[in-house]
Structure 1
Amino acid sequence: MAPSRSPAEWPGLEGADERRFGLLVIGDVGIEVRASLPDVRFTDLDADRLSYAPARAMVAGTAVNLARCAARYFRRVGVLGKVGDDDFTQVIRGELRRIGVDDHLRVEPGTANGVAVMLRDRPCGGVPGSRLLVVGDDPPGRRLAEREVRAAAAGIEGADVLVTDGYSLLSPVSRAALRAAARTARAAGTRVAFDLVPHDIDARLPAEAVLPMLTLSDLVISEAPTLARLLGRPVPAGGQGVRELLPALDRAVPGCPLWLLRFGATSLERVLAYQRGGLMLEYATGYGDGVQRAGFGDLLAAAELYWWLSGP
């Protein structure tokens, strides 16, 4: 039976009234410096520029960002990732404790933690500012190994859902680890969810490096244009264009995962939820003018995962 309410309506984006289920997320863990520049457009820069703006350093990365939001919905949340061995390591572990997330981290001795810098420039003409994300070129997460995933098998098997993302596909080492984690989950009856990021993954990897992970997944979150480019299809324009992409998804990915396809002016305004032979639901996410973009996608994903697990 198709649900009558979307995830944005129930459980909604404020968190769940009753925290249920266990979620384990595999992904990047590190330190991130964020700033929004109120007086700078990247396209206007032609010389050095000093800008004073709100800036902060925080524990972040794809795994931590989702876990922080998921803690509003799920009874148990854990993070499995590889971190370095420097002064930031205890800061990272302290933040996981603070937000009530189980620590399944693997430490690589003698290496530095990953550091990222995220800058967003000034909005212009009603268009949100552009994001410049600079990530250290060799973060520890790229070396998460199969043996480390297998050592964490109890955490995977004890969760209701294993959540992964495409950044782990960018290295052959962590790619093999991710697939091993998904196979471990499926063997134990733990559902597998996959977030197809980065949004330009089609320019970084061939489709044959990505499709096996989609095949292992029970749920896939993606911007519709990313999937279209990955499959060599025209980039969809609007909801009808997204619907025209569905037969190509069915042909490319065996099985029938639930697809949560994001689209709209910034690929975050609307979602088409689709599963072959079953669900077809289009909904507004609540993103728009006046809504902070940073973190919105993770909050939406947490609500969607809870909604999905709660379904019939």
Structure 2
Amino acid sequence: MTAKPHDVVVVGSVNADLVVRVDRRPAPGETVLGSDLATHPGGKGANQAVAAARLGGRVAMLGRVGDDTHGEFLRGTLRREGVEVESVISTPGPSGVALITIGPDGDNTIIVSPGANRWLSEADIAGARPLLTAAAVVSLQLEIPIPTVLAAARVAAEAGARVVLNLSPPDRLTDELLALCDPLVVNEHEAAFLLGSSQDLSGKPGPRWARALLALGPRSVVITLGADGAVVADGTDVEVVPSPKAEPVDTTGAGDAFTGALSWRLAVGDDLATAARFAARVGAAAVRREGAQGSYPTLEEVAEP
């Protein structure tokens, strides 16, 4: 796989993150004062691309931005981070925007206005076939239309690329799309959404949850558990992967840091558990600094002692 021109091609969202910190979140109908507004590059797709590129990956991005000032800013940021942006398409209208509120504990709440991301289409996938077939791993999320995600997964799988799909924001997947995931990456809430009321979800997520997710059809599964690490499972093994301890400053984009790092390590030949152990270190490093992409570490910063 490493002989391909790109380690990772990310197909997904590119957003401007508009961030405000608050001492406490407002109740319905209540107004609270927050910090000055900060604008950061974001979007789950772009975040994952930058996370992989910072670590040294050869990364390209396929997505859409608006023909507004946010679009210029987002494309320029990706380029400066070393991500190939020739397939980031300019679209009439607004770029995607995420409205992020960060509480005193570092946890966040997010509302996403998709903007140009909603126009990334199956035709765009067809036009980018040479890019997708040049990747060892194609990384996908759900801030773009699901038919587009499925089209990208089909092209990637046909070309022998590994398909990494992050079920965020959570949505129902067809059996065909689930069967192409290797791995399906979910957090606790996304796992519960996918498993639904038919499953006994008592207790903390663990190997039992991972096996239940595997039974839905993906080739492999990763359940991210924040400070508790991750559970990884394929057809033969289930393993709990720990996370380094970290005092959280801002958890925005930490899951994307994990998935970007996971995709890159899979692309260069790691097995799933080894890639997840590395990705857990990257995710832990990301929560120690503010912002999403700005918090992502370099390879030297997460090297094992």
TM-score by length of 1: 0.76
Are residues 1:108 and 2:91 paired? yes
Q: Of 235, 244, 255, which residue of structure 2 is paired with 1:286?
A: 244
What amino acid sits opposite 2:12 in the alignment?
Answer: G
Unaligned stretches of 5+ residues in structure 1 = 1-19, 169-173
Q: Which runs of 5+ in 2 are unaligned?
A: 272-305
Task: From the superposition, tell whether residues 147 and 56 of structure 1 become closer, same or farther in structure 2 (CA, over 3 Å).
Answer: same
**CA offsets 1:274-304 (integer angstroms, 9 cap, x no match):** 1112x33211122543454223222222332
CA gap of 1:281–1:54, structure 2 versus 1, over 3 A, is farther
| Residue in 1 that maps onto 2:299 | none
1:194 to 160, 165, 169: 165
1:249 paired residue number: 213
Q: CA deviation at 1:268?
A: 4.7
Quick check: 1:162–1:193 contact (8 Å CA) kept in 2?
A: yes
Give the length in aligned residue pairs: 263
Match status 1:216 vs 2:198 = no
Tell me what 1:295 maps to: 253
Query: Residues 258 and 21 of structure 1: is their aligned pair in 2 closer, same or farther, counting only changes over 3 Å?
Result: farther
CA RMSD of superposed structures (Å) = 2.4
Residues 74/182 of structure 1: CA separation in 2 closer, same or farther (3 Å cut): farther
1:276 aligns with 2:213: no
Q: Note closer, same or farther for the CA distance 1:35–1:280 as it changes in structure 2 (3 Å cut).
A: same
Matched, 1:258 2:220: yes
- The answer to whether the Cα contact below 8 Å between 1:26 and 1:80 also exists between their aligned partners in 2 is yes
Identify the range of structure 1 (299-308 vs 188-197) with the bigger mean alpha-carbon deviation: 299-308
When residues 210 and 289 of structure 1 are mapped into structure 2, their CA distance, relative to the original with a 3 A threshold, is farther
Same amino acid, percent of matched pairs: 24
1:57 to 36, 39, 62: 39
Higher mean displacement: 100-109 or 281-290:
281-290
Deviations 1:157-208 (A, max 9, x none): 111100001222xxxxx2212111111111111111000112xx2xxx4x4x
**Partner-residue secondary structure (3-state), 1:75:** coil
1:254-290, CA deviations, whole angstroms, 9 ceiling, x for partnerless residues? xx52211123xxx45221111112x332111225434
Residue 120 of structure 1 pairs with residue 92 of structure 2: no
Q: Does residue 76 of structure 1 match 2:58? A: yes
1:81-230 paired onto structure 2 within 5 Å: 81-103=63-85, 104-109=87-92, 111-123=93-105, 128-129=106-107, 131-136=108-113, 138-168=114-144, 174-198=145-169, 201=170, 205=171, 207=172, 209-230=173-194
The SS at the match of 2:130 is helix
Query: Quick one: distance in 1 between partners of 2:249 and 2:66?
Result: 34
1:237 equivalent among 197, 203, 220: 203
CA displacement at 1:100 relative to structure 2 = 1.0
